[in-house]
Amino acid sequence: MELLADAGCRRLWINGSFVTDKEEPGDLDAIWDQNGVDFDLLDDIFFEFSDGRRAQKLRFGGEFLPNVVESGSGLAFVDFFQNDRDGGRKGIVVIELGGGIA
């Protein structure tokens, strides 16, 4: 999160097993807000999507995606992540990088 904040990112949405009741979460899925981000300051790893985002998974234990449109659904990732596999709605965690958890 610090790398994103240093580039001007002010909001993340967290999904994956970290926002479930699993005793030992296995992965982290995050979406970052591109508004206000200086892309010249952003670490290249946030644009490394090859091999199933393997480099991100190795470095962070999960994936960080910009809030763009998810191709299969046509929804922005922040909306896509709020749908469960059965088509129901679910909550995700919003982290305001400039001022704590919202």
- Quick one: pLDDT at residue 25? 66
| Domain segments of the chain as ranges | 2-101
Quote the pTM value: 0.82
Strand order in the sheet with 93-96: 62-66, 28-32, 11-15, 93-96, 100-101
DSSP state of 90: -
Whether the pLDDT of residue 101 is over 50: the answer is no
pLDDT tens-digit series, residues 62-94: 899 999 999 988 999 999 988 887 878 888 889
